[in-house]
C-alpha cells in the first residue's frame, strides 16, 4: 500500500469529515435531543451510508452515472426532497424542551430509527457520493487492479466518520444544562430545520455528474 497516498487520503478524509455539514448537524441534534445513545446510533447510520457509497465507488458506480446522468439527477432530487421533508417538520413543529415527547417533531421511537435516519440522510446526499466518486479515485495508484484498494480507503474513511461523530455525541452531553434552558431546543430545531431546507434547495441546483 502506497504510504504517501494513504497519508494524503487520511488527512483529506479527516478534514472533510470534521468540516461542519449535514451529517454534523444531524448528529449534534440527535445527541442533544435524544441522548448519547441515539447520537452514537445516528453516527452508525452515517457510517453505514458512507460504506455504501465507498463500496459503490470502488466497484464502478462512477462509470454507471456517466453513462446514465438521469440516475444522478434522480438521486439528487430524492436527497433534496428528503432533506426538505425533515427540515419542514422541524420548522413546523419544533420541540419546546429537551424532553422527548411522542407528538414532537422528529420523534425517535427506538435505536433503529436513529440508525435509519443517519443512513438515509447520508446515502441520499449527492455531496457524499461526489466525494467518493470524484475524490477517492485520485488516491488509488494507477497500477492498482480491481477495486480492493479503493474499498480499503473507503473503509478507513468510514472508521474516521464513526469515531468523529461518536465523539461529537459525547461532547454534546456537556451542553445539557444549556440545552435544558427554556426555548433552547425550539431554536435549535428551527435552526436545524432551516439548514436542512437550505441544503435541500441547494441540491436542486447541483450540476450533473462528471468525473
- Predicted confidence band at 66 (pLDDT cuts at 50, 70, 90)? low
- Residue 160 pLDDT greater than 50, yes or no: yes
Q: What is the mean pLDDT of the chain?
A: 75
Q: How many domains does the chain divide into?
A: 1
Q: What is the pLDDT of residue 169?
A: 86
Q: Cell numbers at residue 5, please?
A: 497516498
Q: Is residue 102 part of a domain?
A: no
**In the predicted model, what is the mean pLDDT of residues 85-105?**
64
Domain that holds residue 176: 3-95+107-203
Q: What is the pLDDT of residue 103?
A: 38
Q: What is the pLDDT of residue 62?
A: 56
Q: Is residue 100 part of a domain?
A: no
Q: Is residue 210 part of a domain?
A: no
Amino acid at each position: 500500500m502506497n504510504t504517501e497516498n494513504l497519508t494524503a487520503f487520511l488527512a483529506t478524509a479527516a478534514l472533510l469529515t470534521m468540516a461542519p455539514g449535514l451529517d454534523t448537524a444531524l448528529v449534534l441534534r440527535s445527541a442533544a435531543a435524544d441522548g448519547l445513545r441515539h447520537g452514537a446510533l445516528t453516527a452508525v447510520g452515517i457510517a453505514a451510508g458512507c460504506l455504501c457509497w465507498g463500496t459503490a465507488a470502488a466497484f464502478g458506480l462512477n462509470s454507471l452515472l456517466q453513462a446514465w446522468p438521469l440516475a444522478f439527477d434522480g438521486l439528487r432530487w430524492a436527497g433534496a426532497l428528503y432533506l426538505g421533508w425533515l427540515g419542514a417538520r422541524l420548522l413546523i413543529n419544533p420541540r419546546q424542551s429537551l424532553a422527548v415527547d411522542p407528538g414532537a417533531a422528529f420523534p425517535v421511537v427506538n435505536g433503529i430509527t436513529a440508525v435509519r435516519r443517519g443512513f438515509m440522510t447520508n446515502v441520499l446526499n449527492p455531496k457524499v457520493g461526489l466525494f467518493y466518486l470524484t475524490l477517492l479515485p485520485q488516491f488509488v495508484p494507477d497500477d492498482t487492479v480491481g477495486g480492493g484498494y479503493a474499498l480499503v480507503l473507503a473503509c478507513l474513511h468510514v472508521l474516521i466518520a464513526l469515531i468523529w461523530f461518536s465523539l461529537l455525541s459525547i461532547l454534546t452531553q456537556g451542553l445539557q444544562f444549556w440545552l435544558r434552558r427554556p426555548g433552547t431546543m425550539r431554536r435549535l430545531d428551527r435552526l436545524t430545520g432551516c439548514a436542512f431546507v437550505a441544503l435541500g434547495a441547494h441540491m436542486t441546483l447541483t450540476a450533473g455528474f462528471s468525473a
